[in-house]
Amino acid sequence: MSCAKQALGVLASLLVMTTASAARADYFPPASERPAAGVGTMPFRLGSGAMRHDQGIFVRPEIGFGNLSAEIKADGGTQTVNGLASSFGLSFGGVVSEGLVLHGTLGLSSIPGAKVEGAGPITVDQERSFDVTSLGFGMTYYTPDNLWFSAGLAPHVMSLSTTSSGCTTSDCPKDTTKEDFGLGLRAGVGYEWWVGDEWAIGLGVEGFGAGGPDISAYGLNTVFTATFN
């Protein structure tokens, strides 16, 4: 008799467990109750996700301002350009080892109202702009404290544009553009603060120098950076 009671008890327990399992078969737990997916299961990671420059894609746009100067060979001597310039830069690449980034670099610097002095024909009522554009490659190193150092090599295009938009007489000077190509070096240093797992913002100082057959230019800018890695 006791064996029959035990068998009935086991059967009853199995029925209860089966019913409970069936009742939870349609239950889908909320996100807070589900286990987090392991990062290692992802086939490709855009960034380290841990406030570290240890792997992944690297993107750093920057804007700034500073001083831009140039020397231009002209008929009868040399002209000089100097003024406050705005700048824009973009670095795109990837981390090759912790803290070390290799990237391509685009740089733009411009003086909208350039002041030209020196030899050669200079007409007072003409408007001038001086621009420097570079496209090359470089590297950036981040210390564990997120201090960064950058250096790069790039061809530079330097151009001085002169327009006579304010002239209304028949003898207005012609619009001209003097352009030159040269190889240049760029270097910078700065610091960034993490604002997310993969985003950091910061401040830095960058300088460049480039020289061609007819135009040589150099500049020093204060830059504001926003980095994704």
User: What CATH number has the domain bearing residue 87?
Assistant: 2.40.160.20
Q: Token pair for residue 204? A: 């830095």
More confident residue, 224 or 127: 224
Q: For the chain, how many structural domains are there in total?
A: 1
Closest-CA residue to 142 (of 51, 209, 39): 51
Task: Say whether pLDDT at 35 is over 60.
Answer: no
Average pLDDT, the chain: 81
Would 77 be classed as within a structural domain?
yes
Give the pLDDT confidence of 123-134 residue by residue, as tens digits. Answer: 555 678 999 999
Over residues 110-139, the mean pLDDT reads: 82
Supply the pLDDT for residue 183: 94
Would 32 be classed as within a structural domain?
no
Would 136 be classed as within a structural domain?
yes
Mean pLDDT is highest, among 3-17, 20-34, 41-55, for 41-55
Would 6 be classed as within a structural domain?
no
Closest-CA residue to 200 (of 103, 58, 46, 39): 58
Judge contact between 223 and 190, C-beta under 8 A. Answer: yes
With H, G, I as helix, E, B as strand and everything else as coil, classify residue 48: coil
Question: What global pTM score does this model have?
Answer: 0.72
Would 8 be classed as within a structural domain?
no
Residue range(s) defining the domain that contains residue 208 = 47-228
Supply the pLDDT for residue 28: 45
Would 165 be classed as within a structural domain?
yes
What's the rounded Cα separation, in Å, for the pair 160 and 82? 12
Would 135 be classed as within a structural domain?
yes
Instruction: Report phi then psi at 130, rounded to 5.
Output: -120, 130
Would 63 be classed as within a structural domain?
yes
